[in-house]
Amino acid sequence: MKKVYSVIAILFFVAAVYAQSPQTMNYQAVARRTDGTLIKNQAVSVDIRIRDGSATSQIVYWETDTATTNEYGLFTIAIGSGQVQVGSTLGAINWATGNKYMQVQFDPTGTGNSLVNMGTTQLLTVPYAMYASNSVGSTGPTGATGSTGLTGPTGAVGATGPSSTSHAIGERFGGGIVFYVYDGGQHGLIADSADVASSQSWGTNTTTNAIRDGIGAGKFNTERIIANQGQGNYAAQACSSFQGGNYGDWYLGSKYEMLLLYQNQQQASMPSFSNGYYWSSTEVSSNVAYDLSPNGAAVQDSKNISGGDYVRPIRQF
């Protein structure tokens, strides 16, 4: 079984926008393991995605970066200078079209194959300096300070936010059933209680580079498959289009995520799987992908992507 790394990253966002091309933003973080020890002097990988409109909406820019932590676990990357996966440049993003959100995934192994989702945060002031730097005309003189307006009425008390309650395998939560947890139950994986397809192809013969494995890798693979295959009737698209529990971030699990689902299905009291093979999102070659059998020890196998398999969507929390 492939080793899974769980990390805690304390994030410090230090942004610097340069007038010359290319435009970049500095991102700095301290990496720790789950036991609190620093990840020192080690190569790490960082996956940066900019989404347009909401935390789960379309990716308008996506890059992967590598860095090396120092003796204090600190590392810094320049967003805008990594290996671009989607989009052209950071400066080419149309910041004027609405809110932008940055999703960060972190791999302490440095390979990019064991990414841990660190969350998605709305970008506020700094990126819009890029938009301002491209605007037409020079800045006019500062006007006189206006008079102070009247104090407005006190607003209503907002609703209480979500608690930090931990979750357990078998719990009905997040639109499905929890089948794997880590970080003391604060994070984990959820599967829907039913299949979304029974004899679905993986895709058409073409290299998608959806080769990642591990926790969270299925989401990367699913997005890569759809970017390559486009709209159509295939396994990754069926999971991405699924809206179970009113959630829109379902995906086709990686080989390892699907193996965890099979191993923990009895503990999770997961409804019985069909007596057949299930697709994973991990590609083997241009016409072969991994699938797994729910029988026995969940044997890992591979199959021509034009063949039909069962499909079960999962999501992270």
Please report where in the chains the tokens 């004899």 appear, as a residue. Answer: 199
Report the C-alpha gap between 279 and 311 in whole angstroms. 6
How many residues are present in the chain? 317
Count CB atoms within 10 A of the CB of residue 121: 13
Report the C-alpha gap between 249 and 241 in whole angstroms. 9
Sheet containing strand 300-304, edge to edge, reads: 197-200, 309-311, 278-285, 288-292, 300-304
Residue 7's φ and ψ, nearest 5 degrees, are -130, 155
pLDDT for the residue 88: 87
pLDDT for the residue 315: 97
Report the C-alpha gap between 103 and 229 in whole angstroms. 23
pLDDT for the residue 138: 57
Please report where in the chains the tokens 């620093």 appear, as a residue. Answer: 38
Query: Is the dihedral angle over the CA atoms 229, 233, 236, 238 positive or is it negative?
Result: positive
- What is the residue-level pLDDT of the chain in tens, covering all 317 positions? 334 344 444 343 433 344 444 478 888 888 888 788 888 999 999 999 999 888 888 999 999 999 999 998 898 998 888 899 988 888 788 877 788 899 998 888 888 888 888 888 888 754 555 655 544 445 678 888 888 888 888 878 776 555 568 999 999 999 999 999 999 999 999 999 999 999 999 999 899 999 999 999 999 999 999 999 998 999 999 999 999 999 999 999 999 999 999 889 889 898 877 778 899 999 999 999 999 886 645 556 788 999 999 999 999 99
Sequence-distant (≥ 6) Cβ neighbours of residue 155 within 8 angstroms: none
Q: Name the pTM for this structure.
A: 0.50
pLDDT for the residue 314: 96
Residue 207 Cα distances to 83, 225, 278, angstroms = 19, 9, 20
* HSE toward the beta carbon, residue 139, CA cutoff 13 A: 6
